[in-house]
Amino acid sequence: MIQDTICAIATAQGGAIGSIRVSGPEAISITGSIFKPAKAGKLLSEQKPYTLTFGRIYDGDEIIDEVLVSLFRAPHSYTGEDSTEITCHGSSYILQQVMQLLIKNGCRMAQPGEYTQRAFLNGKMDLSQAEAVADLIASSSAATHRLAMSQMRGGFSKELTELRNKLLNFTSMIELELDFSEEDVEFADRSALRKLADEIEQVISRLAHSFSVGNAIKNGVPVAIIGETNAGKSTLLNVLLNEDKAIVSDIHGTTRDVIEDTINIGGITFRFIDTAGIRETNDTIESLGIERTFQKLDQAEIVLWMVDAVNAGSQIEQLSEKIIPRCEGKHLIVVFNKADLIEDKQKENLQSLLKDFPKESTECIFISAKQRENTSELQKMLIDAAHLPTVTQNDIIVTNVRHYEALNKALEAIHRVQNGLDSQISGDFLSQDTRECIFFISDIAGEVTNDMVLQNIFQHFCIGK
């Protein structure tokens, strides 16, 4: 398939200008067969690379549009192949007519992500850089954009390459000893190897641990909104999202399933999860919703416990045993809602109800979701609770689940190397564990990745990229 010449519309509908990309061994000749430069006597195939040529697209004698054609010659193009880009008017009719002409003259419609896949296969970028292209297109905040740009520029790949080279040197010294096993010689200084293994372990561990931050930046910090029925959870979600996402009523148990949505607050993406109200019920569907509430609570990093300020004492007493143990390692914000219905003196008494809560990870705030009172202060508390660092394009933070899994497996392998050096196991076992670590690091860059993994990665790209 990589020998085919492919084409695809690379721009979204609705714009004034449209772009069609053509790539492959016959890209220039196929484009030239439907395009005539305005300057007579000079064919497209005779143009220099990195030039724009003005002319017209023809279907026989009929003019389809006046266009600009960009020309790139292998290997100096995005895909590493001969490529053209046709810029025409953004009419969907014109774009489809040009596409039909290209296919009629020998092109094939590109698969999702096929341009970037060809760039990877032709050595224009490694796999982690190719995956960053999709992240860059999907970036929705300054932080996600910076992380994607850093990875696409090869910052992550460079650090992995340095690790891989050190490990290759490590294992080559061990395997050299195996070649001279009968002479009982030692080429590798075990203390130096242990020092190197410790250094590599620290780098892999740092990269793996950065995933929690990277995942939060990329997919949003998960925030579970929990509490009894009719405490105002759905009202708060609607206020935070500034839209009527969840149904709100005075009837208990209105929300029976999990409702999720994301919003950017102060440059940080939060993924809010409105859950079913927690109460004793015989309703089968509502019970399933409550079960999902606890599942989402376990997945959240920040928990907003909505408490009806009018009935706060009974709600906290009834739910504390169910909620507090599940909030270990999370940031808990107790939100006393309907605070406009109580007096200031009562607020001091309500705060005393939290005296047995973990002080280092618990905060409280009084709001009225219905009246939108103190909701801005709650947003500030969420930003502080997220604890996300300021990200620059030089930061190396893991955001990809596939990379995270590979790093964890590499970490397990280097731990076996460290333990093997401590217990003085034979060189062949050390070499095997080191080779496994190299394998998983190389898998991130795509040096050992199989076709099934590649297909899974690129099928999620948009067509035209």
Q: Which residues are annotated as a binding site for (6S)-5-formyl-5,6,7,8-tetrahydrofolate?
A: 21, 85, 124, 465
Secondary structure E strands in 203-330: 221-227, 259-265, 268-274, 302-308
- Tokens encoding 387: 């604890």
CA dist., res. 378 & res. 369, Å (int): 10
* DSSP secondary structure letter of residue 310: G
Scanning the structure block, which residue is given the tokens 């064919």?
43
List binding-site positions for GTP. Answer: 230-235, 249-255, 274-277, 337-340
List binding-site positions. Answer: 21, 85, 124, 230-235, 249-255, 274-277, 337-340, 465
List binding-site positions for Mg(2+). Answer: 234, 255
Backbone angles phi, psi at 224, to 5 degrees: -90, 130
Amino acid at 68: L
Query: Is 388:213 a contact under the CB 8 Å cutoff?
Result: yes
Name 336's bridge partners. 307, 366
Q: In 132-153, which positions are buried (b, 16+ CB within 10 angstroms) versus exposed (e)?
A: bbbbbeebebebbbbbbbbbbe
Rg (CA), the chain: 29
Relative to beta strand 108-109, strand 221-227 is unpaired
List binding-site positions for K(+). Answer: 230, 249, 251, 254
Report the SS3 class of residue 437.
Answer: helix
* DSSP secondary structure letter of residue 427: H
Alpha carbon 119 to chain centroid distance?
Answer: 21
Query: Is 223:382 a contact under the CB 8 Å cutoff?
Result: yes
